[in-house]
């Protein structure tokens, strides 16, 4: 087992556990972008969101909700971001599905999104035809 998250789940690597149930583990990120930055992972090894079952995703979503609420109440922050990177090109470093719950406060200086663009001419319709789910 070379997966660092699987080693954390197995207790081979220590972590600061925020939440745990039969399906999910949440722990503080060791390189937080803001204090309280928490990772929420499935206990079974799942590479990315496309490999996850509906049951796993439901368990993760419920855990994210609990962790987010606890972060807001415990740290007194105004909100939080939930992010997940799928594939190395998207920034996924550990090949084990994980969601980042990142506490946010007005003026914290954290920028998660670059400046946005817009569609020109028929670009939106062209893209829609390529990705629309029927």
Question: Radius of gyration over alpha carbons of the chain, in Å?
Answer: 17
Helices (H) and strands (E) in the chain, counts: 3, 5
98 is catalytic: yes
CA distances from 12 to 6, 23, 98, 111, 114 (A): 9, 18, 19, 34, 38
Task: Report d(CA 31, CA 27) in Å as an integer.
Answer: 12
Catalytic residue among 35, 37, 45, 98: 98
Phi then psi dihedrals of residue 15, to 5 deg: -150, 165
Tell me the catalytic residues. 98
């Amino acid at each position: 087992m070379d997966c660092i998250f699987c080693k954390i789940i197995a207790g081979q690597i220590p972590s600061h556990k925020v939440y745990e149930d039969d399906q999910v583990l949440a722990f503080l990120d060791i390189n937080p972008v803001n204090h309280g930055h928490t990772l929420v992972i499935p206990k079974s090894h799942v590479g990315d969101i496309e490999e996850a079952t509906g049951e796993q995703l439901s368990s993760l979503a419920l855990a994210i909700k609990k962790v987010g609420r606890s972060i807001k109440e415990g740290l007194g922050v105004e909100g939080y971001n939930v992010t997940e990177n799928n594939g190395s090109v998207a920034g996924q470093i550990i090949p084990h599905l994980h969601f980042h719950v990142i506490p946010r406060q007005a003026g914290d200086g954290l920028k998660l999104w670059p400046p946005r663009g817009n569609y020109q001419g028929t670009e939106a319709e062209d893209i829609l035809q390529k990705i629309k789910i029927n």
